[in-house]
């Protein structure tokens, strides 16, 4: 249907008529009494009287043009059919380790050897791209933890900021507990904001999910990971932990080729305890294929039920009456010009 955004603009529609009665009329017969009534003047007056009715159509053009301008000023809009927005009711925060050990090159992407962070950026980036309807955020942590992107529907921005992350940006150590604590703190602040807002009587149900990826143990920070996980469970935050890194790797040295375990520092016990405490699950990613499968599995999480949000598309229609008014004005100017030329040559 069509609606007018500024319907009060129609109050200006009778404005020309009001001006016609308020302002004094021009005296077109003022100089007629000074003329000598020759026969030619009477013929001219007779012709004007005959054609006066025919020349009323410029007034009609002007009236139509003014009406179109008023309609355009009222901002007509076409309201489309309601469209259901894709919402799942899930807040999903990714926490990515940027410590120095993430520089180990024990992963392959499309046949090319890359470090652990580069593999995470590629695979997690595609995971974020698929999360249509979810609010996605990004926490980066090393020696310190900070929110790179708050929870948002703008998944493209989250992906870009993930791709721009660099190893050592937050320090060389690993503060797993602080990363979890930061998410818990944001949930607490969000709850306080909801308590301050009393406009909605129905509580908003959202599933809070955190995916924490690391290749080491908690070696920095002020909060112990298990304690942070307990606080997260109290807030209803479910944490899925991913331990990334190969079990063995061949390296060359002065003593020849040696087989080493590049994931010797990975604390799988703590990561498992974090996941179990919050109702999540621990995954182990030894290569790119396993990491891809893990994100595919997490991608199948069922969202909590939420009321569907409807959106009605709007399309502005003011251009049509505005173009009509301009066209009528052009015709009116042309008609006045032609009338003036006839009088000069008549």
CB-based burial, 280-309: b 16+ in 10 Å, e otherwise: bbbbbbbebeebbebbeebeeeebeeeeee
Is there a contact between 190 and 181 (Cβ–Cβ < 8 Å)?
Answer: no
The pLDDT value given to residue 165 = 92
Report DSSP letters for 124-151, one per residue. HHHHHHT-TTSEEEEEEESSSEEEEEEE
- Cα 215–chain centre separation: 33
183-227 pLDDT, tens per residue? 998 877 765 555 555 444 444 456 789 999 998 889 888 889 999
Residue 49 is predicted with a pLDDT of 47
| Residues of the chain falling short of pLDDT 50 | 29-39, 41-43, 45-50, 53-54, 198-204, 302, 304-305
Supply the pLDDT for residue 301. 60
Q: What is the DSSP string of 24-51?
A: PPP-TTTTGGGS---HHHHHHHHHHHHH
Domain boundaries, the chain: 63-81+312-346, 89-195+206-298
H-type helices in 130-267, by residue range?
Answer: 155-163, 176-196, 225-234
- Is domain 89-195+206-298 given the CATH code 1.10.3470.10 in the classification? no
C-alpha distance from residue 129 to each of 124, 291, 319, 321 (Å) = 9, 16, 37, 42
**Backbone angles phi and psi of 312, in degrees to 5:** -110, 115
DSSP string, 90-132: EEEEEEEE-SGGGG---EEETTEEE-HHHHHHHHHHHHHHT-T
- At 268, list the tokens: 């799988």
Cβ contact 212:180 at 8 Å: yes
Torsion of CA 338, 340, 344, 346, to 10 degrees: 60
Cα–Cα dist 10/321, whole Å? 14
CA distance 259 to 44: 115
| CB 96 within 8 Å of CB 140 | yes
Query: At residue 79, what are phi and psi to the nearest 5 degrees?
Result: -100, 120
pLDDT at 297: 85
Q: Judging by beta carbons within 10 Å of its beta carbon (0-12, 13-18, 19+), is residue 223 exposed, middle or buried?
A: buried
| pLDDT for 22 | 81
Cα distance between residue 211 and residue 232, in whole Å = 13
Pairing mode of beta strands 314-316, 2-4 = unpaired
């Amino acid at each position: 249907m069509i609606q007018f955004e500024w319907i009060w603009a129609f109050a200006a529609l009778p404005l020309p008529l009001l001006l016609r009665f308020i302002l004094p009329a021009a005296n077109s017969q003022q100089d007629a009494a000074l003329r000598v009534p020759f026969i030619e003047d009477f013929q001219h007056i007779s012709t004007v009287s005959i054609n006066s009715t025919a020349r009323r159509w410029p007034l009609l053009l002007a009236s139509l043009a003014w009406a179109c301008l008023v309609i355009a000023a009222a901002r007509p809009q076409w309201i489309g059919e309601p469209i259901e927005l894709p919402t799942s009711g899930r807040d999903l925060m990714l926490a990515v380790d940027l410590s120095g050990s993430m520089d180990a090159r024990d992963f392959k992407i499309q046949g090319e050897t890359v470090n652990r962070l580069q593999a995470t950026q590629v695979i997690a980036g595609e995971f974020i791209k698929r999360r249509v309807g979810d609010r996605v955020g990004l926490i980066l942590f090393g020696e310190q933890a900070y929110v790179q992107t708050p929870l948002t529907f703008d998944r493209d921005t989250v992906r870009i900021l993930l791709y721009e992350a660099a190893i050592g940006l937050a320090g060389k150590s690993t503060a797993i507990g602080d990363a979890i604590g930061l998410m818990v703190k944001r949930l607490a602040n969000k709850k306080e904001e909801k308590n301050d807002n009393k406009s909605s009587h129905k509580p908003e149900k959202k599933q809070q999910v955190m995916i924490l990826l690391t290749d080491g143990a908690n070696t920095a920070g002020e909060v112990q990971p298990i304690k942070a996980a307990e606080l997260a469970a109290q807030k209803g935050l479910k944490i899925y932990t991913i331990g990334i890194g190969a079990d063995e790797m061949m390296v060359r040295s002065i003593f020849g080729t040696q087989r080493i375990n590049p994931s010797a520092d990975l604390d799988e016990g703590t990561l498992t305890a974090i996941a179990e405490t919050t109702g999540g699950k621990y995954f182990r990613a030894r290569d790119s294929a396993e990491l891809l499968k893990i994100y595919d599995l997490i991608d199948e999480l069922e969202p909590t039920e939420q009321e569907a949000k409807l959106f009605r598309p709007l399309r502005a229609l003011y251009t049509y009456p505005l173009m009509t008014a301009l066209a009528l004005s052009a015709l009116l100017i042309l008609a006045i010009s032609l009338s003036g030329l006839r009088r000069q040559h008549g």
